[in-house]
Every structure is written in C-alpha cells, then in structure tokens.
C-alpha cells in the first residue's frame, strides 16, 4: 500500500505521522476507551485537537524543550496524548511503571530529571508527592482523573482538562510557539525514553529516537501486513517498549485504532467486546486463559466434556496444518469445520480472540502445549524475540513458519551474529541511541559498529534459519565438574506444568542441581477443591504431602526430558522444595516484568539453599514479606525437602558422590 511506496517522504517524527493520519484518516477512530459502561471514541482529527490543546497548555505551564515529562498511569487515551503532546513541545516523554513503589519511582524521576509529571489518578499523584521529599526537580504535576484530588494544594498541580482549556484559550499566543517547536523535530530527535526493568542493578534509561521507532514500526507493520482497520487492546504497561511500539509506533504508522480498557479488572470483558485483530500477550496471559478454560471444562457436563475432548483432539492433529496452509485431507477438514462450529468458534469468542489475525507472545518461553492449543484453534499466534534496546523487534516468526521452540528469523533490517560464547548480537535501524547519562553502560552494550549484546545465549538452527534462545548468557554457567548449567532451560520446562507457577534452579559451581518451586494457586487450589483437601493458606497448601507428590512427579518428568539432551543432562534436579510464599516483585524477587532475580533469591533464601545441599529432610525458615501498601511482615514455615529420581548416567554419579 501507500506506506511502502513512500520511503523518500516518510514523516520523520511521531507528531508528523499524526498530522499525516489526520489528513489521511481524519474521521476514522484513533482511540477508544470504555467509560461509564460505553465505548467512547476519538477520531484522528479529534485526538490531534486534544493533543494540541494539551501541548499548548503544557507550554503555558512552562514546559521547555529538552525537559523530561514523566507519565504514570494505566493505559488511557489521555496518557497516550500526553506522550505525543510532550514530543510536540520538544520534550521527552518518560513513561513509568504505574505499579512501581515510591522508592523505585524516585530513582527514575531523579535520574531522568523530570520537571513535569503526568499522572493517571490520585494514587499516582500521592506517590509523586511522597517522592518529592527526596526528588526536588519536579515542578508541575498534571492529573487526568480528578477524583479525590480537589482538596490538594494546587499551586503546582493541575487537572489535565484545565491545562487543555488553558491551552485552547491561549492558542493565539501559544500556537505559534508550538508550531515552531514542532518544526524542529526530526528523525534524530528523542522520541521516548524507556527505563528497562533490569534483572540486575539499577534501571537504565534507554533513549530511542524518532528514527528508531518509525523505522521499526514501518518494517514490522509491513512484515505482518498491518492495515488501518486493525483493532488493538492497549492493556500492557505503558512503560514497556512493546506497548509504545504497538500503541504509538505501529498505530501511528498504519493508522489503526487503540482501545483502552475500562479498568484493569475488566480487561477480559473489554477484550471480548473489542475483538482485537492484532494482539499481544505475554505467555502468562495465555497460560492463565488456558487454565481458566480447562478448569471450567472440568466443571462442565459429561456431554460437553466429551465434545470438547473430541474436537480438541481433531484440532491438535490438523489445526496447525490448516493454519499454515499445508495439505489436509477432506475428511479432516470437515471434522475441523464441525469442531469450529461447536467448539473452537464459541471458545475463541469467549476468549475474545475470534478476530485475531496476528497474535504475538514474547518475553518468556511459552509451553509447547499452550502454544499449540491456541494455534490449533486457528489463532495465528507467533513468537517474537526482542528487547527495549532494539525498539522491540530482533527476530519474529513469519506466517507459516511457526514453532514453539524458536523465536523466528531476523526481523526486516536486523542483522544477527552469534559470539563464540553463544551470546546473540544484533544490529538494526531500531538500535537505541544510548543509555541516558550512562556512557559506560552504553559502551559496554553497543560497540562502535553498532552491534548490541542481548545478554542472551542462543544459536541459529541451520535447517530453518530460526534463532533459538537457551538462556540468559550470564546465567549459563558451569557445574563443579565443568558440565553446562542452563537454569532457565530447566525452569521453563517446569513452568510448562500448570501446577507450577515459578521455578528457580540452582547448580552453578555445584556437583548437582536443586530447585525451588512455586505452586500455582489457581490450578492447585482447584485440584484441592476437587479432591476435598482443606487448606487455610497458600503456605499450608504448598506443604501438603499430596501436592508435594504431584510436584515430585512433574520434576521427575522434567528430569527425563532434560536427560534426553546430552549437553544438558547434568541439569537434572536432584532435590527440590516447594516455597511457602509466591515470589513477588514487591519483595524484589522478580522484576516488574516477572523475571526471576536470581542473585537476590540466592541471598534471601541462603538457608534454604544450604539445606538443599546438606541432605536435611526439612528446614525451618523465616521470610520477610512486603504487602501491597509497602508495609512489611514476617512469615515462618517448615518446609519439606524432597529427593527426585534422576535418569541416565546421573544415577551412578549420585551413588558415587554419596
């Protein structure tokens, strides 16, 4: 279409793309948000008007070129407008994770030197006010939702509607200033600054230019043939690079509509109502949905269960092949069509995925059963591999070449090389400019030729040219006898069991591997209910002997599959325990994107780890927990330690070691 035909006259900034969209699709919906139970919508022209009003209002409040504007809140059109308005003013939007606690927020606000903070509601305003005790650079707070804020001191605080009203009132005076600033924007201007959650150390501010974002959006939109009629649901954190690319980059490039849910709790209902055509979700969302479906099917009547099982068997056999356009016998096609009529169609509708044309998952490995389940229903779910520093896309799976164990081929314009130690490097137009105020990290991550280290170890499969990721490069280590230790590889296999929510495997520099397991309260709780097992708390359920038995079965199954891979057979789990609390980002054990922080867990649970290795049967421990509101408490527990069966050469090694 026209997008591909005009590389010479490509708009060079997001505000320029907005102007193009107003001219091209002025009366088409650009944003929708459900409010008061009704989907409210804004056309591109209306959105542009709101953005202009806000930008002028911000200038009137004293926003200067080069200032940082922090944006904190859930996905709402007003906050997306705030990002573009900041760009129009020549300022740099810095979206923050809204569930960050005040001290995390303080670091980022201090580091980016935010002068303006735009908040979604009172909760965020309260946090910013708390932060202001230590961070003094904040000059103005703007909030969207007025509720509960009427009595606050407004000397440096304004409602967004009032800022816009002031901008509109003063447009004679402010519009020339705004147009003047807009004219200065080009491809090299900073488009956005995103803080990486960082599995180690402090978050780093990744600076992405307009060129990074627009080039990446163009290439990826063409790769998946995205069109102006697409619908997406914006529900992932605004501070995450993926949301910025999907909801701003690709949305502005292709001109599709961004839908915002009514509240985080209504996400699933809103998903059904919108029926997105382009959908992204991390593996845990797909896992969660599948678990819910399975639990509900277990409660269904016998006929329904029979129909479901039968149809799903057909779907698993031929669904993926039909999706990939491979030859399938007429009889199978007919069975699949019936299955679609009675099971897949209604099921997809319930999940809100009826209209999905392109679906992506990334961030973590997804279980093959889960992945195949969605594909067999006829949902074009694919995987991509990316990171903030690459403006998301490094590799992605083309239609028809989708597998659960690879992350696809290099995205258009991306070059990939594998270093000797297995680390994956890439170079692309989306490669970030720098880490803000951190030249050392920039230099150690990006070499002068533009190659960026991903920190992940992987290899390119020769037969298909697809990239396969094994683990974080720094986590791939050696055991005491020099055999390869890849914890994530084993953890992922464990997490593919619905009963296991999280797993942490230890073994670097040791003679054998051990593991912590977190049970999944939804799945295990449902099982307990079904089997009349009473429990009062997560802790009690986690130590139930029958639960331990189930987990042991899972661990042994994983050992068997790990043993099949000669290179990694040393990673079989000899001993494990089930943790008495869920690993939590509030306790610093996971990152905000729910990745395991290995070092912190090792420190915090040192007593448990030593018990895993000294042969004791049980271990008593006391753990500090942080509640949602930041208060701390302690829980103590006695945990059983279990031995798991290992296979292959491992067995003799174990006897010899003892």
What gap in Å lies between CA 578 and CA 544, rounded to an integer? 10
Of 147 and 302, which has the nearer Cβ to other proteins?
A: 147
CB of 452 to other proteins, least distance (A): 41
Cα separations (Å) of 657 from 39, 575, 651?
A: 66, 14, 10
Burial of residue 288 (CB within 10 Å: 0-12, 13-18, 19+) is: middle
Of 34 and 348, which has the nearer Cβ to other proteins?
A: 34
405 is a contact residue toward other proteins (CB under 8 A) = no
Of 153 and 658, which has the nearer Cβ to other proteins?
A: 153
303 is a contact residue toward other proteins (CB under 8 A) = no
Using an 8 Å Cβ cutoff, are 374 and 359 in contact? yes
What gap in Å lies between CA 365 and CA 282, rounded to an integer? 9
What gap in Å lies between CA 230 and CA 252, rounded to an integer? 12
Using an 8 Å Cβ cutoff, are 243 and 75 in contact? yes
What gap in Å lies between CA 584 and CA 621, rounded to an integer? 17
148 is a contact residue toward other proteins (CB under 8 A) = yes
Of 270 and 589, which has the nearer Cβ to other proteins?
A: 270
Of 235 and 246, which has the nearer Cβ to other proteins?
A: 235
Size of the site for other proteins (CB under 8 A): 14
What gap in Å lies between CA 233 and CA 254, rounded to an integer? 15
Which stretch of DSSP H or E encloses residue 413? none
> Would you give the binding string for other proteins spanning residues 150-189, x where CB under 8 A is met?
xx--------------------------------------
CB of 265 to other proteins, least distance (A): 4
Question: Per CB under 8 A, which of residues 254..293 are in contact with other proteins?
Answer: 262-263, 265-266, 269
CB of 487 to other proteins, least distance (A): 35
552 is a contact residue toward other proteins (CB under 8 A) = no
Question: Per CB under 8 A, which of residues 369..388 are in contact with other proteins?
Answer: none
Selection from 504, 546, 549, 498 nearest residue 519 by Cα: 498
Strands 157-159 and 140-143: parallel
Of 123 and 139, which has the nearer Cβ to other proteins?
A: 123
DSSP string, 265-284: GGHHHHHHHH--SEEE--HH
Angle between helices 77-88 and 44-60 (to 10 degrees): 60
CB of 277 to other proteins, least distance (A): 24
CB of 148 to other proteins, least distance (A): 6
36 is a contact residue toward other proteins (CB under 8 A) = yes
CB of 355 to other proteins, least distance (A): 22
Pick from 1, 5, 147, 201: which binds other proteins (CB under 8 A)?
147
CB of 628 to other proteins, least distance (A): 8
634 is a contact residue toward other proteins (CB under 8 A) = no
441 is a contact residue toward other proteins (CB under 8 A) = no
Tokens of 350: 């319930």
302 is a contact residue toward other proteins (CB under 8 A) = no
Of the listed pieces 18-26, 29-37, 158-166, 402-410, which binds other proteins according to CB under 8 A?
29-37
CB of 39 to other proteins, least distance (A): 13
461 is a contact residue toward other proteins (CB under 8 A) = no
Residue 2 has φ and ψ, to the nearest 5°, of: -60, -25
Angle CA 579–581–587, to nearest 5:
120
200 is a contact residue toward other proteins (CB under 8 A) = no
CB of 83 to other proteins, least distance (A): 24
Q: Quote the DSSP letter at residue 507.
A: -
Residue 361 has φ and ψ, to the nearest 5°, of: -135, 150
**Where do contacts with other proteins occur on this chain (CB under 8 A)?**
35-38, 147-148, 150-151, 262-263, 265-266, 269, 628
């Amino acid at each position: 279409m026209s997008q591909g035909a005009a590389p010479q006259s490509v708009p060079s900034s997001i505000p320029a793309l907005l102007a193009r969209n107003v001219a091209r699709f002025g009366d088409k919906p650009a944003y929708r948000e459900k409010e008061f139970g009704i989907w409210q919508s804004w056309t591109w022209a209306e959105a542009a008007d709101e953005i202009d009003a806000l930008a002028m209002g911000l200038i009137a409040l004293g926003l200067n070129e080069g200032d940082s504007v922090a944006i904190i809140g859930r996905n709402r059109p007003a906050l997306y407008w705030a990002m573009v308005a900041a760009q129009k003013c020549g300022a740099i939007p810095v979206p923050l994770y809204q569930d960050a606690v005040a001290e995390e927020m303080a670091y980022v606000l201090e580091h980016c030197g935010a002068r303006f903070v735009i908040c979604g509601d009172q909760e965020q305003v309260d946090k910013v006010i708390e932060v202001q005790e230590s961070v003094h650079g904040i000059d103005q707070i703007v909030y969207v939702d007025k509720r509960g804020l009427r009595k606050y001191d407004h000397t440096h605080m304004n409602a967004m509607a009032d800022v816009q009203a002031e901008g509109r009132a003063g447009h004679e005076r402010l519009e020339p200033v705004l147009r003047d600033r807009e004219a200065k924007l080009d491809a090299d201007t900073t488009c956005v600054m995103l803080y990486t959650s960082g599995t180690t150390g402090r978050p780093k501010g990744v600076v992405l230019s307009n060129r990074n974002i627009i080039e990446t959006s163009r290439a990826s939109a063409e790769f998946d043939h995205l069109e102006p009629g697409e619908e997406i649901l914006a529900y992932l954190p605004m501070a995450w690079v993926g949301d910025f690319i999907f909801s701003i980059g690709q949305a502005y490039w292709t001109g599709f509509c961004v839908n915002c849910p009514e509240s985080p709790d209504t996400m699933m209902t809103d998903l059904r109502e919108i029926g997105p055509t382009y959908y992204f979700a991390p593996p845990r969302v797909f896992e969660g949905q599948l678990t819910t479906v399975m639990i509900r099917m277990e409660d269904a009547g016998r006929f329904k269960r029979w129909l479901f099982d039968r149809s799903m068997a057909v779907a698993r056999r031929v669904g993926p092949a039909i999706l990939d356009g491979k030859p399938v016998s007429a009889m199978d096609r007919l069975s699949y069509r019936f299955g679609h009529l009675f099971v897949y169609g209604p099921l997809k509708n319930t999940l809100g995925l009826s209209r999905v044309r392109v679906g992506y998952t990334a961030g973590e490995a997804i279980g093959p059963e889960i992945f195949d389940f969605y594909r067999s229903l006829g949902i074009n779910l694919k995987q991509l591999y990316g990171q903030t520093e690459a403006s998301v896309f490094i590799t992605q799976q083309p239609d028809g070449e989708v597998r659960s164990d690879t992350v696809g081929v290099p995205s258009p314009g991306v070059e990939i090389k594998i270093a000797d130690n297995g680390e994956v490097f890439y170079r692309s137009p989306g490669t970030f400019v720098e880490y803000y105020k951190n030249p050392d990290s920039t230099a150690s991550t990006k070499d002068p030729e533009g190659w960026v280290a991903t920190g992940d170890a992987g290899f390119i499969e020769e037969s298909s040219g697809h990239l396969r990721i094994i683990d974080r490069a720094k986590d791939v280590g050696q055991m005491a006898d020099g055999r390869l230790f890849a914890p994530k590889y084993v953890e992922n296999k464990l997490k593919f069991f619905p009963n296991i929510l999280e797993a942490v495997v230890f073994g670097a520099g040791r003679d054998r591997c051990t593991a912590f397991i977190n049970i999944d309260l939804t799945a295990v709780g449902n099982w307990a209910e079904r089997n009349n097992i009473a429990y009062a708390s997560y802790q009690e359920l986690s130590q139930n002997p029958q639960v331990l038995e189930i987990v042991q079965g899972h661990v042994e199954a994983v050992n068997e599959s790990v043993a099949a891979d000669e290179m990694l057979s040393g990673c079989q789990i000899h001993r494990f325990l089930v943790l008495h609390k869920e690993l939590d980002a509030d306790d610093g054990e996971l990152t905000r994107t729910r990745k395991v922080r290995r070092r912190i867990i090792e420190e915090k649970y040192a007593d448990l780890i030593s018990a895993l290795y000294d042969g004791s049967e049980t271990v008593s421990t006391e753990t500090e927990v942080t509640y949602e509101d930041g208060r701390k408490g302690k829980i103590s527990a006695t945990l059983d330690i279990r031995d798991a069966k290992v296979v292959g050469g491992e067995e003799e090694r174990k006897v010899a070691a003892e």
